[in-house]
Amino acid sequence: MDFVILLLGGAVLGLAGVFVRLADTTANLGPFASAFWRMAVATPFLLAWAAAHRAHRPTVSTAATPTPNPPLVFSTRPAPPALLAHWPTWGLALFAAAMFALDLVFFHLAVTWTAVGNATLESNLAPVLITLAFWVLTRNAPRPVFVAGLAAALGGAALMIGPNFGNSRALLGDASGLVSAVFYAAYQVGIQQARQRLSTAPLMAVVTLLAAVVLWPFALAEGRLWPTAAIGWVWVLGLALLVQIGGQVVIAYAVRRLNPALSSVGLLVQPAMAVVYAWVLLGEALSGWQLLGAGLVLGGIYLARKGF
């Protein structure tokens, strides 16, 4: 069930690039500004949710018999290794927030300079980095079927971005998308480890607030902080409420019992859906090779789920 929730969150996240592009083209809202407003607008809602969660949290008597199904545990898989177990909780939250903010900085630049599908696919190369990191740190190589799934997913991603490889204008955007993958990988590890200690509501409220603080100077320096048309606020609300709360928060809820490498592979549904959304909403048409690539990505997700 946790993996299904993760996939649904990834599908919602696929809208992020579309909203960023629309905010830029219809309301002249800069990429850093849209990242800042995404965090800033979502923060009050998440703080209210965290407060309500705290107020309604049941008091457990020390004499009470432990329940066989503790709350917020919805997977029978063993918890992944706590690579950052020695970090304090506040340090994990700050690390996750900073990595997420930097991921958004480069991802929003990529969306502005290259195709939405390209940017999203490149940002989601995080599974490669996470898998390699786990391999080095734990000396525990993934099973062959996981490697096959990862190869299929990445091969499909290559097919989906292939038609744009000859576009020199998009090279800088592609580079930004690849850099964002580094920070996205770090964010996934940080949020998964913090999720072992904190419930979803307080964790995402704190991470979103801190990310807004990190993004604020970027948005100010950019000089396009305010949308020039009212429609810009529609895209901002979509980023804050649908993508940040409906996507990232749902994913944070789901990854508690998932290995970070598997979590990132599951999120490869995000670029597949992003290409579809960009085709429907922005006119970025899919070629036959891109459709084949999308199928390979989803097939790779299935194999990776079975193999790690």
Q: Phi then psi for 165, rounded to 5 degrees?
A: -60, -30
Q: How far apart are CA 248 and CA 242, in angstroms?
A: 9
pLDDT at 183 (0 to 100)? 92
Task: Tell me which of 84-98, 217-231, 265-279 is least confident.
Answer: 265-279
Neighbouring CB atoms inside 10 A of 155's CB total: 16
Of all residues in the chain, the percent with pLDDT exceeding 70 is 77
pLDDT at 147 (0 to 100)? 82
Which residue, chain included where needed, has tokens 């993004």? 215
Q: CA nearest 246: which of 61, 14, 62, 55?
A: 14
- C-alpha dihedral, 68 to 252 to 160 to 283, nearest 10°: 120
Of residues 174 and 82, more confidence is placed in 174
How far lies 161's CA from each of 21, 130, 174, 211, 290, in Å?
18, 21, 10, 29, 7
Any idea where the domains of the chain sit in the sequence?
2-51+86-307
How far lies 64's CA from each of 58, 99, 262, 302, in Å?
12, 40, 36, 41
Q: What is the per-residue pLDDT across 228-251, written as a single tens digit (0 to 9) for each?
A: 999 999 999 999 998 988 887 777
254: pLDDT confidence band, cut at 50, 70 and 90? low
3-state DSSP percent of the chain in helix, strand and coil, to 5: 75, 0, 25
Q: What is the per-residue pLDDT across 12-43, written as a single tens digit (0 to 9) for each?
A: 888 999 999 999 999 999 999 999 999 999 99
214: pLDDT confidence band, cut at 50, 70 and 90? very high
Neighbouring CB atoms inside 10 A of 24's CB total: 21
The pTM for the full model equals 0.80
pLDDT at 83 (0 to 100)? 60
Given a cut of 60, whether residue 82 has pLDDT beyond it is no
Q: How far apart are CA 267 and CA 193, in angstroms?
A: 17
